[in-house]
Amino acid sequence: MNIIIDFEKGAGLVPVIVQDADTKEVLMQAYADKEALELTLKEGYAYYYSRSRKSLWKKGETSGHLQKIVKVMVDCDEDCLLYIVHQTGAACHTGEKSCFFRELIK
Amino acid sequence: MNIIIDFEKGAGLVPVIVQDADTKEVLMQAYADKEALELTLKEGYAYYYSRSRKSLWKKGETSGHLQKIVKVMVDCDEDCLLYIVHQTGAACHTGEKSCFFRELIK
């Protein structure tokens, strides 16, 4: 890996944006630590770090709603990732395709 | 606002994903505190909180690269926002349209 991800700015974590490769819909946002990113790149499926459970987490491991990685993009200052994925089933635990299914009322 | 944003989980900040309303390209990721979100909703242009400068920041205030808000979406657990915007010029300070212009080498 030629690009060094700045995990320190976020106390060991970087935010990950997840986008559907086909529809370009933003599906969810989660966090990755170094281990989660390495496993994601190695296995080609999305891994995250759960802040609430304080542990590594393979998306869809129990639900079957896996995210197959198409591309991993990094932002200009190397402290945020964008996973472009093929999503099996729903990304959201509510059953919605995307976690962003509600608009804030202005 | 009927939805209560959980700013506390991120020590007063929530990550904001910014997506182009027309192309659906993910443009950047930044952070908002309560004041930034309120100004965004009130004025219809994107405001953020800069972690490095520790201050409120109107996107494009100096560069002219404003982000006109089309919609503000919130995720299922109310700790992340998605701004759908009309971007004037480039979103990235490098001159690229999106901050995610590089792919991580696998």
Residue B81, domain member (yes or no): yes
Which amino acid does the sequence have at A56? L
- Work out how many domains chain A is built from and give that number: 1
In terms of Cβ atoms closer than 10 Å to its own Cβ (0-12, 13-18, 19+), residue A16 is: buried
- Considering the entire predicted model, what is its pTM? 0.96
ipTM confidence: 0.95
Q: Hey, of A38, A42, A104, which one would you mutate to test binding to chain B, going by the most B CBs within 10 A of its CB?
A: A104
Residue A98, domain member (yes or no): no
Residue range B37-70, pLDDT digits in tens: 999 999 999 999 999 999 999 999 999 999 999 9
> Domain range for residue A75?
8-87
Query: Would you say B14 and B80 are in contact if contact means Cβ atoms under 8 Å apart?
Result: yes
Query: Would you say A59 and A44 are in contact if contact means Cβ atoms under 8 Å apart?
Result: no
- B33 annotated binding-site participant: no
Measured between CA atoms, the residue of chain B closest to residue A28 is: B75
User: What is d(CA A8, CA B73) in angstroms, rounded to the nearest whole number?
Assistant: 28
User: What is d(CA B13, CA A66) in angstroms, rounded to the nearest whole number?
Assistant: 29
Residue A94, domain member (yes or no): no
Tokens 């995720």 sit on residue: B75
Residue A25, domain member (yes or no): yes
Residue range A74-99, pLDDT digits in tens: 999 999 999 999 999 999 999 999 99
Q: Hey, of A54, A100, A101, A105, which one would you mutate to test binding to chain B, going by the most B CBs within 10 A of its CB?
A: A100
Residue A95, domain member (yes or no): no
User: What is d(CA A43, CA A40) in angstroms, rounded to the nearest whole number?
Assistant: 5
Residue B33, domain member (yes or no): yes
Measured between CA atoms, the residue of chain A closest to residue B95 is: A76
**Shortest alpha-carbon distance between residue A103 and chain B (Å):** 4
Q: Mark yes or no for CB contact B80/A99 under 8 Å.
A: yes
Residue A93, domain member (yes or no): no
Tokens 């509600």 sit on residue: A102
Residue A64, domain member (yes or no): yes
CATH number of the domain that B55 lies in? 3.10.20.810
